[in-house]
Structure 1
């Protein structure tokens, strides 16, 4: 077995022993203690169908276990995500597909769900560069995993963030609502707030582009209610941009343009020139669509 399964098995053993649980008790009626012993030593892989009831016997959710397993900055998952991101930024579509195929092969050999998720993320980044969507069965794999997760931690946030653009707008909307319902409350005031706002901002943009204006307004309200404007000023500045686009759509062109330009100016002044440029392009594109000049 590879280093990933060996590491997962070892961490599984650490949790079991910390709870003073025997292999026989944890195995229950799902599997055997000898099989779990092999899993703990990295000799055998384990399927999700077997792992989930075993974790329940340990009074632990699948999300909690995965969050524990994928917690180190130098973990395989983190390293691979960073590598995939670099390939995407370099627009290296060939290597993204090769990486997706490689991770799928590893998933088939090890039954380690991390490989399946990395394969999906690599394919989603390829789709984003190619302007395509994931295949329906791939969309379903992502949806089923995230909808079955009891709580969303960093692992789930990473998965949403890197696959979102390759999902239909209806799935994006569903994912955003799942995220708000399943995130621990403290995640809105931790280092994860940046990825949360990034995900929701991208959903808002998709909603506006696909003319789901009421849904976009709902997500703007969600972010406003979870981020205090006196503390998270930048979040609220960005929301003014999206509010501006919605005002323009409603015919309030002067006020909408003013709000959008306000955000662009502030982003430029605080040094986030790349975001300012992106918003300027988006605003001009939106106004041109309506035959209005900025």
Structure 2
């Protein structure tokens, strides 16, 4: 993150603190000045101590840093999400060009992963077959990671749609094992729940019901005692779909209806309408 010095300087000045006040007891004012100008690196311990001095959390710092560069993964995910929701193939191709350029300059694997996801999504939108070689590339990367953090969870979540049932099932077990030690982190626990719900939805659409009950229990466990209204309501909808597919029609329909009603009540009309259409189509096929 080459811009951390200038970002720190911006935040320090916004707090009305001088170089001397900030550096006192930690490093020299001259070294802090060089760091802020991007001329010197700094140890992790000193960096965290400096953030504490100016009363800024690391998550807040990252938000400011992300706003100043287009190379961050968060920026990519934001642009990807907009193109995905609008089914904008032109924008997706523009993102492929930018991510390919970043990969050529840095050789960082995440830029290559982003290109794969973008190409697979274009294939999905244009009814073309998925590239299995590319799918296998991300599958093996995730399988071979010793630990999963936020990046790996997001990568898996965004790759589910072009992987095989066997690959998704294997990576779901891997996610549960390797991301477990970080699930107490607010960001990771929410992301983990959303990814597993994507897996549940994927399995339900494929009528692959065998692992669904245990996955629902896993998400219930992660969300217990947490105030994630949307996540819990979305899970209740999936529980309803599962029960319908398991021939518990009335119980399942009641769960789905209540989840849709709550989404509509709290302003998520677009999502409520999509789910209502999906539910109606499913029930229509059962008549």
| TM-score of the two chains, using structure 2 as the length reference | 0.69
Partner in structure 2 of residue 204 of structure 1: 200
Judged with a 3 Å threshold, the aligned counterparts in structure 2 of structure 1 residues 71 and 221 are, in CA distance, closer, same or farther, namely: farther
Matched, 1:218 2:243: no
With over 3 angstroms needed to count, the CA separation of the structure-2 counterparts of 1:14 and 1:153, relative to structure 1, is: farther
Q: How does 1:74-223 map to 2 (within 5 A)?
A: 74=67, 75=69, 76-77=71-72, 78-104=74-100, 106-108=102-104, 110-132=106-128, 134-223=130-219
Task: Give unmatched runs, 5+ long, in structure 1.
Answer: 5-9, 20-68
**Structure 2 residue aligned with 1:260:** 256
User: Structure 1 residue 261: deviation in Å?
Assistant: 0.8
Task: Describe the shift of the 1:101–1:149 C-alpha distance in structure 2 as closer, same or farther (beyond 3 A).
Answer: same
CA displacement, residues 133-165 of structure 1 (integer Å, 9 cap, x when unaligned): 531110011112111212222222222232222
Single out whichever of 184-193 and 256-265 deviates more from structure 2.
Answer: 184-193
Work out whether 1:274 is the aligned partner of 2:270.
Answer: yes
| Cα offset, 1:204, TM superposition | 0.9
RMSD: 3.2
Contact 1:147 1:178 in 2 (8 A): yes
**C-alpha separation in 2, matches of 1:99 and 1:91:** 13
Greater RCO (CA < 8 Å, at least 6 residues apart): 1
CA contact (8 A) 2:194 2:231 kept: no
* Structure 2 alignment gaps of length 5 or more: 4-34, 46-61
The corresponding residue for 1:47 is: none
Taking the aligned partners of 2:194 and 2:226, their CA distance within structure 1 comes to 19
SS of the counterpart of 1:271?
A: coil
Q: Distance in 2 between matches of 1:133 and 1:223?
A: 31
Per the alignment, residue 7 of structure 1 pairs with none
The two structures have a TM-score, normalised by structure 1, of 0.67
3-state SS in 2 of match to 1:214 = coil
Alignment CA distance shift 1:133-1:222 (3 Å) = farther
Change (3 A) 1:101 1:235: closer
Per-residue deviation at 1:108? 4.3
| Change in CA separation of 1:83 and 1:196 when aligned onto 2, cut-off 3 Å | same
- Provide the residue aligned with 2:56 in structure 1: none
Contact 1:133 1:167 in 2 (8 A): no
Question: Is the contact made by 1:245 and 1:256 (CA closer than 8 Å) also made in structure 2?
Answer: yes
> In the aligned structure 1, how far is the partner of 2:160 from the partner of 2:197?
11
In the alignment, the residues of structure 2 paired with residue 204 and residue 100 of structure 1 have an alpha-carbon distance, to the nearest angstrom, of 29
Cα displacement (A) at 1:233: 5.0
CA deviation after TM superposition for structure 1 residue 217, in Å: 1.6
Q: 1:249: Cα distance to partner?
A: 1.8
Q: Secondary structure at the match of 2:66?
A: coil
Q: Which among 66, 74, 77 is matched to residue 73 of structure 1? A: 66
User: CA-to-partner distance for each residue in 1:112-145, whole Å, 9 max, x for gaps?
Assistant: 2232122123223323433555311100111121
